[in-house]
Amino acid sequence: MPSYSVPLRDMKFVYNELFDPTDISALPGFEDATEDLINPILEEAARLAENELFPLNTTGDLEGCQFDNGHVTTPQGFIDAYKQYAEGGWVGLPCDPKYGGQGIPAAVNVLMEEMACSANVSFATYVGLTRGAYRAVNTFANDDLKNQFLPKMVSGEWSGTMCLTEPQCGTDLGLIKTKAALQSDGTYTLSGTKIFITAGEHDLTQNIIHLVLGRLPDAPKGIKGISLFLVPKFLPDTEGNPSTRNPIFCARIENKMGIKASATCEMNLDGATGWLVGEPHKGMRAMFTMMNDARLGVGIQGLGIGESAYQAAATYARDRQQGRALTGAKTPDAPADSLLVHPDIRRTLLTMRAFTEGARALAVWIGRNIDIRDHSNDAEAKKQADDIVQLLTPIVKSYLSEAGHDNAQMAIQIYGGHGYIRENGVEQYARDARIAMIYEGANGIQALDLVGRKMPAHMGRYLRRFFHPIQDWIGAHTADPDLQPFVLPLAKAFGRLQMATGQIAKAGLKDPNEAAAASSEYLKLFALVALAFLWARMAQTAMRQKDSSEPEFYEAKIKTAQFFMERVLPQTGALFSSIMAGGSTLMNFSDDAF
């Protein structure tokens, strides 16, 4: 069976060495967020993930959630694990202390989320949805709603969901039919059906706070007529305790391919009472706040599962004896050498490792920009940070979820036939990872968002936030001989990205299908350049530690960076060729021939 050990040393490298942690501790409210505080938090979180969450991963998958007459029970051990998680303050880790949160930086919370997803991604969905709901309520709701609901969501006593999808609409939310009607007391009644609602019903918390998209009687058509409502499972009494059962019920749970311990529900609203969050007909703005948080979280799911898959594969490759090295037996006294002697096994493992370490750096980079966006007193710094978050969110969601699934598939391949057998554990990673490419906006939608919205936004301002630092770094280090193996490949791939950007912008003006046809390849090209930039910086950081007490750690970092530059980054050449080929072979193919 696989095991999981939190990669604490690498997490600390990214947080404390690759990036300057004083950038965060200098922000208002984060003065205490120094190494002396952050490192113990990460270490305690690691113990929780390894000892409490990971042991429930396989059993949760085998048992799954159970549905009985509207009630959902989670697998054995989940209630106790959640209680321990909530009582430890982990649900409210990044939340405002005003509502009982810990006020810890988002960059730290990114690492905590990775641990939870690596250990038990089904469990992580319950917590992740609550944090997303918290952010939407905290940003858009009035003070009465915040004071009534946020403290118990932050404490973990109550959980949260996002109720978007309906049977007739997934991505196209303009087709939503759920009806809302204003009542004389200022509340609203809601009626309709929502499907694929993660954590819509369960037994982990006293109450569940649903954020529901609905349509008022006078609503304009399409997404401009959607409003957001807070609809609790139980209506609170005058003292704020769960009281009257609200008519929002679970009709069924889905029998899914993966994340079986996460309840995916069909929810029926039959005149359920709710409160308006924000302004009428402005619900999409609030929901996208929550959805963008969820999209980053989904990317981290890919990273988390990818890390667990890598660890399982590396352990198996070290221990499994199969065949002999092509250059002669490495362990002549044993019946065979370990899998590690075979070049293709090493290529596979290094590909997995290069992804997880690069993706972790990318996730923390976004977390740092979220911290600056939300806490800096400098208006320009806040705008620049938000630009980076807006630009990179679809990239993180799409590329990390896809590469994480690839890692799971590669782990199965390294295990061989044993990887296809359920009791060995790695096939679960592939099943659990698959949904991340679909929910919170399928990856094709993320690519369209990148080329259709983010690329042209503010006359290319988002792109400049990303392009200029890379150009500056390349220019500053081109003459450094030690960095040549990293600067030159990065510069070549970056040049391809710049040319592809120009081609898509030009072609898209004449025909939107041209931009859309290139969007998926463009997103992958963009992601690889982002990882190359971070890998070059990680190599530079590691080179500065040549005389440290951990030479093996830093040497492995440099060699992984070299592998990424030589064996992964060249994929940008093929992606560039596909982009420049245009979309005619897609769009000129007859519909009738499909």
Taking CA atoms, 215 is separated from 88, 133, 478, in Å, by 39, 19, 56
State the catalytic residue, choosing from 402, 427, 440, 521.
440
User: Sign (positive/negative) of CA torsion 197, 198, 203, 206?
Assistant: negative
With 0-12 / 13-18 / 19 or more C-beta atoms within 10 angstroms meaning exposed / middle / buried, residue 282 is middle
Residue with token string 């890598």: 310
Active site residue 514: no
Any idea what the Cα angle at residue 589 is, between residues 586 and 592, rounded to 5°? 135
How many other CB atoms are found less than 10 A from the CB of residue 297? 25
Dist. CA 146–CA 125, nearest whole Å = 22
Q: What SS3 class is residue 440?
A: coil
Are residues 560 and 357 in contact, defined by beta-carbon separation less than 8 angstroms? yes
Closest CA to 357 of 534, 541, 570, 124: 534
Give per-residue pLDDT as tens, 344-400: 999 999 999 999 999 999 999 999 999 999 999 999 999 999 999 999 999 999 999
Closest CA to 578 of 530, 527, 528, 519: 519
Domain ranges of the chain: 8-140, 158-283, 288-582
**Strand 158-163, strand 207-214: pairing:** parallel
Write out the CATH class of domain 288-582: mainly alpha
Dist. CA 188–CA 185, nearest whole Å = 9
Closest CA to 254 of 408, 405, 443, 72: 72
Closest CA to 534 of 355, 347, 378, 403: 355
Tokens of 260: 């079986």
Tokens of 261: 């311990």
With 0-12 / 13-18 / 19 or more C-beta atoms within 10 angstroms meaning exposed / middle / buried, residue 5 is middle
Taking CA atoms, 477 is separated from 121, 142, 470, in Å, by 40, 50, 11
Q: How many CA atoms lie within 13 A of 458 on its CB side?
A: 13
Are residues 287 and 297 in contact, defined by beta-carbon separation less than 8 angstroms? no
- Greatest alpha-carbon pair distance for the chain in Å reads 84
Q: How many CA atoms lie within 13 A of 15 on its CB side?
A: 26
Q: For 161, list phi and psi in degrees, rounded to 5.
A: -140, 170
**Strand 71-73, strand 227-232: pairing:** unpaired
Q: What SS3 class is residue 439?
A: coil
The domain 158-283 is classified under which CATH number: 3.40.50.300, 2.40.110.20, 2.60.40.10, 1.10.3720.10?
2.40.110.20
Are residues 440 and 293 in contact, defined by beta-carbon separation less than 8 angstroms? no
Residues in the chain: 594
Q: Which neighbouring-strand residues pair with 266?
A: 252
Closest CA to 48 of 133, 123, 101: 123
pLDDT tens track, the chain, 594 positions: 789 999 999 999 999 999 999 999 999 999 999 999 999 999 999 999 999 999 999 999 999 999 999 999 999 999 999 999 999 999 999 999 999 999 999 999 999 999 999 999 999 999 999 999 999 999 999 999 999 999 999 999 999 999 999 998 877 777 889 999 999 999 999 999 999 999 999 999 999 999 999 999 999 998 889 999 999 999 999 999 999 999 999 999 999 999 999 999 999 999 999 999 999 999 888 877 777 888 999 999 999 999 999 999 999 999 999 999 899 999 999 999 899 999 999 999 999 999 999 999 999 999 999 999 999 999 999 999 999 999 999 999 999 999 999 999 999 999 999 999 999 999 999 999 999 999 988 999 999 999 999 999 999 999 999 999 999 999 999 999 999 999 999 999 999 999 999 999 998 888 999 999 999 999 999 999 999 999 999 999 999 997 788 999 999 999 999 999 999 999 999 999 999 999 999 999 999 999
Give per-residue pLDDT as tens, 19-28: 999 999 999 9
| H or E segment and range at residue 333 | none
Write out the CATH class of domain 8-140: mainly alpha
Dist. CA 92–CA 126, nearest whole Å = 13
Any idea what the Cα angle at residue 157 is, between residues 151 and 163, rounded to 5°? 85
Taking CA atoms, 480 is separated from 254, 306, 561, in Å, by 56, 33, 16
How many other CB atoms are found less than 10 A from the CB of residue 273? 20
